[in-house]
Every structure is written in C-alpha cells, then in structure tokens.
Copies of this chain bind each other. A is one copy, B any other.
C-alpha cells in the first residue's frame, strides 16, 4: 500500500472512531484519532462527550510506548485555543515526540482555522492535510455549518410517494414508507440535536418524535405553532418534564396553555407573526443556534416543508421514497418557485429508496 492509501486507511479509522461520539459531543465536532508507529496502530482515541477531553489526548494517554517518531492521524485539525473547557491539543502533540500529523479537515473555527497546523509545523512536525477531505466535511457538517453561520444545519426529511404525496387524506395519517425507513428515521433522530414539526403534524400524526427502533438518545423537540393550536392531549405533551421541548408561537395565544406548558418546563418563544401570519423561520433558526442546537431534522408537514424549502433555509433534503403512487392526497410542499438541488446519494432502504440531496 502506498503512503496515500495508508493515510486514507488510518483517516477512515479516525472517522469510525469519531462516530462513536454521535449524539453525545454536540455542539462539538466528531473527532477520532489514531497513532501509528512502525506501521502499527499503537493507540486510538475519540471525543466521547461534550466538554470532555479531545480525541488526541485520549489517544496519546493510551499509548504504552514512546511516541518518538510516531504519526498521529486525526480527522480534524488539532486545536490550539485556550478559552474553552479543555486545554489545547497542539502543545501536547508537540511535546509527545510525534513527528508527523495527518489531518482530513482544517477546523473552520476562526480561533483555530489553520493556526493549529502552523504551530505544529513551526515545531518541526510534518503535517499532511486534506486526506479524504470530502468525507471529513460530511462527517462534521453540523459543526462546520454552525461555526460558520451561527445557525443549525437543517435537514428536511420527507417520506413521500412517487407522485410526491405525504398523505392520502388530510385529516388522518397514512403510513407511507416501510420498516427499514422507519428505523432509519429513528437513527437520524438519535444523531440530530433536535427534530422539528409544525402544528398540523402534531395534530394529525400525533408523533412521539423519539428514538425507539434503534439504540440512542432522544432528540430535542421543536414545535412551530403560531397560534398554539395543538391540543395538549397529544403524546408530545404528556410527559411531566418538557425541558427538551421548544415551542415557537406568537403573542396572542392561550395564556392557560402557556402556563401548563411552562409548568412542565417547556421552553416557549413568543415571536411576532410576519405579514403572511407565519413565524419567521430565520429568526427561529437564529434562536436555536444560540441555544447550541447545531442540527435540526425537519419532519413535517406540508406547510413546514414549504416554508423551509421556499425560503431556502435548509442544507439537505432526505427523501424516503415509497414504491407507491397515490394519485390524490396531500403534496409534500406547495412551492411558488423552482429549486435545483444536487444529488448526493441514492440507495435502497428495504422496499423504499433513500435519496439525499444537498442545496446547490
């Protein structure tokens, strides 16, 4: 195997390790690290939980032999800034005796952004960057996007028929996709910081929006309901502790409902309605960004999909496409303009298709 292939192999291992942090490290990035000496991995580490030690010290502390002449692989540029919970990683790498560092992506955080690499090079360490950079960017898309924009990464997830319907009727829920797709949605929920739905989806589908079909933590829940019209008898409100529930509504709404929800510690944001009688999604995303929610999975329904897509307030759309034609029914969205996307991936998911498109 040539050096390029070897670099890719170890960076891939870093990706695998990094993913062990799914659902735990947000809003920090996913980072994995391996240390290689004489052609063998002698230590591995990853970022386990938000605020915990980084992948590099985790790996370095595990090595049972001298690191002199070793190579450190890390999917993200080692940090060098000090105004945070953990000490910077570059001094530790430099003092360890490691002579080469291989990185997939630079850290877009302006406090790091190439400065980590500079410090390593200044200390005489050889640094290779950009190995499997595209995959590295994909792995930390939530972190990169939120650091750059202050807004959460938004994925719109649409389960639809071949003719673009999300429901056969409007008053009752029709299940569109198969068992594999359902499981995949639960997997997504375990990774995204929060799931978001509109009032109508709460009313008609009465979803729980939690993780039941796979292992993993539940996401935060965001409900957009300008008129606070959802009945509090819905499953989402039955729990006694709603501290993980964010409700965006407007000023003139039922004080009683607000009281009941606040008693259960729900977070309620009362914003102004815009001229269309809707809440500003941009404003909502800004608030969520400040709340350290750096990824949002939008799960429905028609009106919510329409607003996110029409206003181009999304990063990707995941279609779970069922092998069905409904003929009539509720469209996924009603856009007044054309949108052109980039196909990112397409694969079978049981009887359905999972199609991922990115914003151009």
Contact = CB atoms under 8 A, between A and B. Distances in A.
Which residue, of A319, A325, A342, has the highest number of chain B Cβ atoms within 10 A? A325
B348 A347 contact: no
A327 interface: yes
Contacts of A343: 323, 348, 351-353
Interface residues of A, number: 33
A347 B332 CA distance: 23
Q: Count identical subunits in the complex.
A: 2
Interface in A332-355: 332-343, 346-348, 351-353, 355
A353 B346 contact: yes
B357 A339 contact: no
B346 A324 contact: no
A135 interface: no
A327 B337 CA distance: 6
17 contacts: A162-B164, A162-B319, A162-B341, A162-B357, A163-B332, A163-B333, A163-B335, A323-B341, A324-B338, A324-B339, A324-B341, A325-B335, A326-B338, A327-B339, A343-B348, A346-B346, A346-B347
Given A309-B325, A323-B342, A325-B341, 18 more contacts: A162-B319, A163-B164, A163-B335, A323-B357, A324-B338, A324-B339, A324-B341, A325-B335, A325-B338, A327-B333, A327-B335, A327-B337, A327-B339, A343-B352, A343-B353, A346-B346, A346-B348, A353-B355
